Structure formats: structure tokens, C-alpha cells
Amino acid sequence: MDLSKDEKYMKLAIAEANRAFEQGEFPVGCVIIFNDTIVASGSRLGTTSSEKYPSEIYHAEIRALQSFENSISDGMRDEYNGINNYETIAVCGEIGKISRTNIMAEKGALINRAKIVPEKGSLINRAKIVPEKGALINRAKIVPEKGSLISSSKIMPEQCTLYCTMEPCLMCFGAIILSGIKKIVYSFEDPMGGGTSCDLKSLSPLYRDSGIKITPHVLRYKSLELFARFFSKEDNLYWKDSLLEKYTLEEMVKTQGFKRA
């Protein structure tokens, strides 16, 4: 286990959780990492106090898996050999940052000019190569400059790691297994709705033989602190007066006591 790497990527998941918190959402964040790059991200939605009935579908992990599927299906077009409509994916290491890239023509290709244009609404972890009018592109790929945060390659789910700030529930745990991802790293345990302690050996083959590995408690205190801040706000109603709230606030007191000691 590479702890420093796990901490580095958990910080990105916590940044997603912070974004959710600032919007009045339950602060869960999730990122999916392949080849040392972030290929998908998601945060909790549908839990603000203005919701008549909170969503139990828009969990951070499910939203990240949706973005993950888009990244994979776009990546499958990577081999496309067309003229003037070539697309490829640039995956950047940090949300919102594309540092520098070269567009390199393959041997025999004709490129006049092209630019990298981020997709609308994307966090700029994906980009298309869009040729300027009159340009000829046969085939091209995005090749990162040395030291840049961008790499492009086909995403292989079995080599991806999913980082989330709270232990996945049963729905998310099942969806992660079905996605083919083999490693989960989470931060704060969920004693009320966590699903990762279920006995996979007693389930059907797809789950039983998934070979999924789980690393708990990476940067636990940072996530705990954020959940405690959420539950300490009077106007946050999601899971108010629940076992999760009670446990989180008690753990916060315990941890603070420990820190003072």
C-alpha cells in the first residue's frame, strides 16, 4: 500500500466533499484514479434542506461512476481514424488543471492547426481535439510534455482505484464491483449504512469472485471533521438525529480529546 499516494488522492476526494458541503449537501466526495490521473469525480447531490425528499440515488460514488462510464466510452473512440473529426481524451491529474500539451501528428498525418477545447460543463479532466476550419487531421494523439499533469491512455477499470470520503453504502459497493474497479479507499466509516463489511463469500459469483480490495481510514480525521461540521449546523436536516449523526459527533469529541491529551 502506498500511503502517501492514497493520501494525495483522498485529498482530491475531500475537495469534492468540501464543494458539496459549501452547497449545503452532505459532504461526500469521490474520485476515480487510473494511471496516476483522475479520470472521474463526483459529489453528493440531493440532500440540501430545501429538498422535499432527499435523493438516495445521487451518491458521490454513483455520480463518479457515471462520469467514469463517459470517460471510458469516449476513450474507446481513441482509435478512431477519421478526417477532421478526430477526438481524443486528455486526462489531467488535478481537477480543473490542464497544464501543457503538445499535439503530435502521427507519421504521415497532416495537421495544419488544432486546439484543445474542454467539453462544456467538464471539470477539464476531458478534452477534445477540434481542428480549426480548413485543418486536415488524419490522426493525432495528445502527448503530455515532460512534467505535465496530462496523460492519455485507455482506461482499464481493473487498474483503477476509487477514493471516497465515506465508506460506500450497499448500493454503491455493488455498483463499484459491477464497474470492474478492484480497489476502494475510503476515509470515514459509516456505522449506520456502510456496506463494505458484508460477507461477499455468501453472495452470487459476480460479487463473491470480484477480488475487490478495501483500504479504510485514509485521512479519517479530515473527513470526520467535515461530517461533524455538517451535523453541527442546525439547518442541515439530512440524517438529523440518526445513529450516524450521534456516532460522528461522539467520534469528533473523542478524537479532539485524544488530540488534547
Q: Which of 12, 13, 14, 59 binds Zn ion (CB under 5 A)?
A: 59
Shortest CB 258 distance to Zn ion, Å = 29
Check residue 169 for interaction with Zn ion (CB under 5 A).
yes
- Which C-beta is closer to Zn ion: that of 33 or that of 169? 169
| Burial class, 207, CB count within 10 angstroms (exposed 0-12 / middle 13-18 / buried 19+) | middle
Shortest CB 130 distance to Zn ion, Å = 36
- Which C-beta is closer to Zn ion: that of 102 or that of 242? 242
- Which C-beta is closer to Zn ion: that of 149 or that of 181? 181
Shortest CB 172 distance to Zn ion, Å = 3
Check residue 140 for interaction with Zn ion (CB under 5 A).
no
Cell numbers describing residue 118: 474542454
> Identity (one letter) of the amino acid at 70?
N
Q: How far is Cα 152 from Cα 142, in angstroms, rounded to an integer?
A: 7
Shortest CB 66 distance to Zn ion, Å = 13
Shortest CB 60 distance to Zn ion, Å = 7
Check residue 45 for interaction with Zn ion (CB under 5 A).
no
Query: Per-residue b/e over 136-168, b at no fewer than 16 CB within 10 Å?
Result: ebebbbbebeeebbbbbeebebeebbbbbbbbb
Shortest CB 8 distance to Zn ion, Å = 23
Cell numbers describing residue 112: 495544419
Cell numbers describing residue 125: 479532466
Handedness of CA 173, 163, 58, 169 (dihedral sign): positive
Check residue 14 for interaction with Zn ion (CB under 5 A).
no
- Which C-beta is closer to Zn ion: that of 155 or that of 164? 164
Question: Residue count at the site for Zn ion (CB under 5 A)?
Answer: 3
Cell 458521490 locates to 60
- Which C-beta is closer to Zn ion: that of 75 or that of 168? 168
Cell numbers describing residue 253: 469529541
- Residues 151 and 144 sit within 8 Å (Cβ to Cβ): yes
Residue 30, H or E segment: strand 29-34
- Which C-beta is closer to Zn ion: that of 127 or that of 172? 172
Check residue 172 for interaction with Zn ion (CB under 5 A).
yes
Residue number of the CB closest to Zn ion reads 172
Instruction: Catalog residues that contact Zn ion under the rule CB under 5 A.
Output: 59, 169, 172
